[in-house]
Structure 1
Amino acid sequence: MENITFQFDQRLGISVPEFALPWEELPSREQQSVMLHWEQERGKIPDRIAELEKEINKLQDMLYEESRFDRSCELNDSISELASTINDLWLWYRASEGVEVKRHH
């Protein structure tokens, strides 16, 4: 894959593609190779989301018991960041759906 690299995103916990060229300009052989590699990464997303949801649940339990305002704010910030990461993972999970539709038309 000359025009695309997969870089590990620490926040997301998966490797995501970085394109040197627009998708439409990639040779079809490279598009197929990217799709194969992406499907492997994409398959990790539901498990990663489940891990993050468990972390959120633990933080929510801690928040429920927390009486200090400053610590409650910290816990809320952590929960918000994890929820944002989950949202981004869902966006990545759905990102290839548009590509799949284009390939079939």
Structure 2
Amino acid sequence: MKEYFCFDHRLGISIPNLELEWAQYSEETQQAILFHWEQIRGSIPDRIAELELSINQKQAQLSDESNFKTSCELNSEIAELASIINDLWLWYRANQTVSEKMHQ
């Protein structure tokens, strides 16, 4: 499946990387891709929970931080983690229709 997915280091998951139109893949390949994606998609909520834990830890640090520069850095890190969570939810929801095709 490595040829159909690439690991996104920012998101922490593999995402589809299809070079052909969907119809150009054999039905067997389509099913394998969908099965693999469903496994990845199922791990997204766990990945989000990890990131939320990290955000909570940084927010706790931020509440005790008196150094302005460090506070800005923590805020920036929290914003980046929130952005990653948003992108993960987009992948999770946008590809829900793909997952539904697998069950038809």
TM range (shorter): 0.7 to 0.9
Secondary structure (helix, strand or coil) at the match of 2:11 reads coil
Please name the residue that 2:85 is paired with.
86
Describe the superposition over 1:55-105 as per-residue Cα deviations: whole angstroms up to 9, x where unpaired.
000000011111111111100100000001101111111122222456788
Q: How many residues align?
A: 104
How far apart are 1:23 and its partner, in Å?
A: 2.4
Q: How high is the sequence identity, in percent, across the aligned residues?
A: 57
Letter in 2 for 1:96: N
Letter in 1 for 2:85: I
| Cα RMSD (Å) | 2.1
Please name the residue that 1:71 is paired with.
70
Runs of 4+ in 1 over 4 A off after TM superposition: 100-105
- 2:42 & 2:103 partners in 1: Cα distance? 21
Please name the residue that 1:96 is paired with.
95
Describe the superposition over 1:24-49 as per-residue Cα deviations: whole angstroms up to 9, x where unpaired.
43332221111000011111111110
5+ residue gaps, structure 1: none
Q: TM-score, normalised by structure 2?
A: 0.86
Please name the residue that 1:8 is paired with.
7
Q: TM-score, normalised by structure 1?
A: 0.85
Secondary structure (helix, strand or coil) at the match of 1:19 reads coil
How far apart are 1:13 and its partner, in Å?
A: 1.2
